[in-house]
Copies of this chain bind each other. A is one copy, B any other.
Amino acid sequence: MGSVRELPEAIDLSHHLNTKSKSRHPSPLKEIIKYMGVDGMISLAGGLPHPSLFPLQSVNVACLAPSAAISSDGSANKSSEDIIKLSLGRNDSPGDLDLTPFLQYGSGAGNAQLLTLARELTDRVHSPLYQYDCLLHPGNTNAWAKVVDLLCEKDDYIFVEEFTYPSAQAFWIPLGIRAVPIGADAEGMSAELLEKVLEGWETSHTNSRRPRVLYLVSVGSNPTGLSISAQRRKEIYDVCVKYDIIIAEDDPYYFLQYPHYQPSEDAVVPQESEAFSASEFLSSLTPSFLSLDYQGRVIRLESFSKTLFPGLRLGYFIANPVFTERLLRATEVETQDPAGLSQALVIALLRRWGIDGYLRWMQSLRFQYQTRRDWLVGSIAKNFTLVEAGKSPIPTAQGLVACLKGESGELKPIFSFVDPTAGMFLWTKFYFSGVKRFGEVAATETSDPEQAFADELWAAWAKQSVLLTPGSYYHPWQGPDMVTSKARGAEPQTAHFRLSFATPTKVQLEQGVDRLLAVVQKYWA
């Protein structure tokens, strides 16, 4: 940690704290804690249950080794050499992790050993440019709720991507907050469009203060699968500096970055031998917003949900101490620290694996999700003719356009998508122009024909036994007068659907695309 001391301090951004977070006081009970460590002190001040009265005595855990081979059907090879044993007990036996502090009430900040590991990982992966702080949280859902509660006032506006994660919105919609979605191309959110909205804010929104928060899932975004390019990140960050915007970087898919889809006869899981060294792996990853941040205006939400498992309900904030200190005050009264067994397990695992082992495990995951992306895109390529957007008949398309051949051999564009290079999702934009049934729907459902037809299409797929996620779930909430396709300014005669390739098997993905095609053939006949 020696080098950290030489880094500059974050700039003062305390004017971003909202009224509520400024009003929080440290719990007076915590003040006594410093006296408790004094030699010979007898404390009648604690309110903790007696640790001898906890029934849990020890926990033995079997985990995969970081390099455990995972076969191409997605099942891990559980041969004995791939299993490591972790021992957590009430007594600190050699090699064990002493479980006692994890069974007791902890400090809101979380266990000091885990925070040290979080800092090591942060220094290694993001090399922040200023004196940051880490604070544990019980998952990114809670972390984002705490960030909104830290910075936003009732009836504020928040910058979001063109399509955004509905559970992230569901927290702030009841606060009267509205989204300002910023358009994107294949490189992610447009810095130019962001700046344009900011420049014009005072004239376009005379009654509302300028948005102060930009919420981003900047790698393998949910739902669009888009990752923001390194160059674009710099441009967005510069706009945020110019207009004093705080960036909430919700980045659960950061380690699941992989190369573009390459057509091949049969996609296979990349071989073990293709694994990079830890440093090669890290340099293959797009730099995070945190790593660009020289002022302390990025609040990064780290999660173990996608890298270890979601049931941990454990992650951490990396941020300017002016923010983590207030987030800690909120943590003390809202959640306390994450569950003890989750903390103990992650410490034991990270110690046994080491940071290098953890990064090696990330590569196993990356290979897996890359393979699954290949299965899905490969299935689409088998059933549709893929045309590069620039060479397609759709001028607004990005990425690839999936076409069907008409009776006279001409290519009919059905949907476009940007081949995802991270995460778990493929985001499609369907083109309804020339679809007879869409014309019929539009004749009766005049308020939002695109949505009405998209609903019908979704139901037809469900009847064909394939479920997609309706794109409407990801429309940023801009208020009750902005809910139709037209009012939102959506491209006419289009609608989106999200396809996840995280869970289905190869056969299921192939069958799923077959079923998708069957419905398309009926409607686009």
Contacts and interface: CB of A to CB of B under 8 A. Distances in A.
Given A53-B74, A60-B60, A467 B173 contact: no
Given A42-B504, A74-B53, A309-B54, A469 B171 contact: no
B23 A174 contact: yes
A466 B74 contact: no
A78 B90 CA distance: 11
Contacts of A292: none
B167 A27 contact: yes
A54 B308 contact: yes
A166 B28 contact: yes
Given A32-B467, A53-B74, A74-B50, A332 B173 contact: no
A313 B340 contact: yes
Contacts of A345: 56, 341
A365 B51 CA distance: 11
A468 B45 contact: yes
B312 A29 contact: no
A126 B315 CA distance: 37
Contact of A62 (B58, B105, B361): B58
Contacts of A264: none
Contacts of A467: 32, 35-36, 41-45
A311 interface: yes
Contacts of A175: 20
Given A335-B138, A465-B40, A222 B170 contact: no
4 interchain residue pairs of minimum CB distance: A311-B340, A339-B339, A23-B174, A54-B309
10 contacts: A44-B504, A50-B502, A55-B361, A56-B63, A141-B336, A167-B333, A171-B333, A171-B334, A313-B335, A341-B345
Given A44-B512, A50-B502, 14 more contacts: A25-B173, A29-B166, A32-B467, A36-B467, A42-B466, A43-B466, A44-B499, A48-B310, A52-B70, A55-B64, A104-B309, A141-B333, A312-B341, A313-B340
Interface of A: 19-21, 23-25, 27-29, 32, 35-36, 38, 40-64, 66, 68, 70, 74-76, 78, 83, 102-106, 138-139, 141-142, 145, 166-167, 170-171, 173-175, 222, 305-306, 308-314, 329, 332-342, 345, 349, 361, 364-365, 368, 372, 424-425, 462, 465-470, 472-473, 498-504, 508-509, 511-512, 515
